Amino acid sequence: MGTIEVSGKSYEVDEEGYLVDLSQWNEELAGEIAKAEKIEMSESHWEVVNFLREYYNEYQIAPAVRVLTKAIGKKLGPDKGSNQYLYELFPYGPAKQACKIAGLPKPTGCV
């Protein structure tokens, strides 16, 4: 357990840096988590992060990478539904890094 401080407010995160209470999420906090992951958020990054949040709202889980890739391809176009595209945006794994920035728990089955 640890905390992240943003604009005088503190947010509880687990030992791997995932937000404990996802209802606390906001874009400013996402930006801070991204900074810690050494990721500069572009519009393409936000597109994936927002997609993940929508997916979570609908299904109550963070998708596995394979499922994310397929779903992104369907929603945002086939050029974006590839491992290469997602790993360029999130080099340490789209599921791990993007989920963390989106304030979601670590995907089930993602070790």
Tell me which residues are annotated as active site. 110
End-to-end alpha-carbon separation of the chain, Å? 18
Q: Which is nearer to other proteins, 3 or 83 (CB)?
A: 83
Computed on alpha carbons and rounded to an integer, the radius of gyration of the chain in Å comes to 13
Q: What are phi and psi of 6, to 5 degrees?
A: -135, 125
Count of residues engaged in binding other proteins, rule: CB under 8 A: 12
**Rounded least distance, CB 50 to other proteins, Å:** 18
**Rounded least distance, CB 31 to other proteins, Å:** 27
Which amino acid does the sequence have at 58?
A: E
Q: Is 74 helix (H, G, I), strand (E, B) or coil?
A: helix
Q: How far apart are CA 16 and CA 89, in angstroms?
A: 20
State the binding string over 49-68 for other proteins (x if CB under 8 A, else -): ---------xxxx-xx-xx-
**Residue list 67-86, contact with other proteins (CB under 8 A):** 67, 70-71
Residues that bind other proteins (CB under 8 A): 58-61, 63-64, 66-67, 70-71, 108-109
